[in-house]
C-alpha cells in the first residue's frame, strides 16, 4: 500500500509538473520573443517601461504574441474600418502624376536702351534692377537652359553690330552668373542687325536722333528660359 501510495503520488506530481510545463509552454508560445516572469507576465524595464525582448524575438513573433499589442503596437496590423450600409465608397487613390512636360520656351524681351547706353555694352543700374527681377522669378522656377540673345538696329556695319550684339548678350549672361545662376545653364549669342523688328519703311526719311528713336525696338536682348513645368 505504501509503495502504491508513493507511486500514486509520484504520478500525480509528474502529471502536475507536466501540466505546469504545458501551461508554461502555451503561455510562452503566446509571448514568444519576450522575457516573462514566474507568473508568465512580460517583464518590462523599470525605467523606460519597455518590454524586454529575448534573442528569439522577431517582428513576426511580436505580431503573433499577445504581449505584442502592448510591447510593439506599431507592428500590429491596422484594423479595417467597417463601412456602414449605404455609405459612399471610399475614395480611390489618386492616379500617379504624369511625367513633367516640356514647357514652351518663355521669352522675355528687354529693351537694349533700358539695359545699356546707346552703342555701349556695360549694364546700367536700371538695367541691373530689371535683371534682378528676372533672377527672383528664376529662383522659384524649374528651368534647364537660359539663352541671352543680343540684337542691334540697322545703323552701322554688319560686322560692328554683330560684335556689339554678342558683347551685350555676354554682359547679361555674366550678370546672371554673378547672381548665382549656374554658368552651364546660361548661353549667350548675338544676331547683330539680322533680325530687326522694324521694317525699312517704318523709318524712311528719318535722320539723326529721330532715326535712332525709330529703330529703338530693334535694339534689344531676348532672354529665353526653357525647362519643365
Q: How confident is the model at residue 87 (pLDDT cuts 50, 70, 90)?
A: low
Tell me the C-alpha distance between 33 and 149, whole Å: 71
Q: How confident is the model at residue 19 (pLDDT cuts 50, 70, 90)?
A: very low
Selection from 53-62, 83-92, 98-107, 182-191 with the highest mean pLDDT:
182-191
Q: Looking at residue 3, what is its pLDDT?
A: 46
Average pLDDT over residues 103-121: 83
Q: Looking at residue 148, what is its pLDDT?
A: 94
Average pLDDT over residues 162-185: 94
Selection from 77-86, 90-99, 190-199 with the highest mean pLDDT:
190-199
pLDDT tens digits for range 118-148: 889 999 999 999 999 888 888 777 778 899 9
| Higher per-residue pLDDT: 124 or 20 | 124
Pull the grid cell for residue 15.
Answer: 502529471
Average pLDDT over residues 73-97: 67
pLDDT tens digits for range 31-58: 777 767 666 677 666 555 667 666 667 7
Closest Cα to residue 168, out of 181, 153, 185, 184? 153
Q: How confident is the model at residue 60 (pLDDT cuts 50, 70, 90)?
A: confident
In the chain, list all ranges with CATH 3.30.1330.60: 106-226
User: For residue 166, is pLDDT > 80?
Assistant: yes
Tell me the C-alpha distance between 147 and 119, whole Å: 22
Q: Looking at residue 45, what is its pLDDT?
A: 61
Instruction: Report the half-sphere exposure of 136 (CA within 13 A, side-chain side).
Output: 6
Q: Are 44 and 51 in contact (CB under 8 A)?
A: yes
Count other C-beta atoms under 10 Å from residue 177's C-beta: 15
Q: In CATH, which superfamily holds the domain spanning 106-226?
A: OmpA-like domain (3.30.1330.60)
Tell me the C-alpha distance between 28 and 163, whole Å: 88
Amino acid at each position: 500500500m505504501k509503495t502504491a501510495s508513493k507511486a500514486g503520488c509520484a504520478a500525480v506530481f509528474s502529471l502536475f509538473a507536466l501540466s505546469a510545463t504545458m501551461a508554461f509552454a502555451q503561455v510562452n508560445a503566446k509571448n514568444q520573443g519576450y522575457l516573462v516572469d514566474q507568473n508568465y507576465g512580460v517583464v518590462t524595464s523599470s525605467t523606460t517601461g519597455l518590454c524586454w525582448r529575448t534573442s528569439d524575438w522577431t517582428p513576426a513573433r511580436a505580431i503573433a504574441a499577445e504581449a505584442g499589442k502592448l510591447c510593439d503596437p506599431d507592428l500590429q496590423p491596422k484594423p479595417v474600418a467597417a463601412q456602414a450600409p449605404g455609405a459612399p465608397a471610399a475614395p480611390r487613390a489618386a492616379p500617379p502624376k504624369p511625367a513633367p512636360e516640356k514647357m514652351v520656351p518663355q521669352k522675355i524681351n528687354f529693351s537694349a536702351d533700358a539695359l545699356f547706353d546707346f552703342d555701349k555694352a556695360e549694364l546700367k543700374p536700371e538695367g541691373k534692377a530689371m535683371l534682378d527681377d528676372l533672377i527672383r522669378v528664376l529662383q522659384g522656377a524649374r528651368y534647364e537652359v537660359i539663352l541671352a540673345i543680343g540684337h542691334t538696329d540697322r545703323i552701322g556695319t554688319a560686322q560692328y553690330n554683330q560684335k556689339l550684339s554678342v558683347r551685350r548678350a555676354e554682359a547679361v549672361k555674366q550678370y546672371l552668373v554673378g547672381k548665382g545662376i549656374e554658368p552651364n545653364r546660361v548661353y549667350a549669342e548675338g544676331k547683330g542687325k539680322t533680325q530687326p523688328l522694324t521694317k525699312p519703311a517704318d523709318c524712311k526719311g528719318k535722320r539723326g536722333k529721330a532715326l535712332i528713336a525709330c529703330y529703338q525696338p530693334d535694339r534689344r536682348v531676348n532672354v529665353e528660359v526653357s525647362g519643365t513645368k
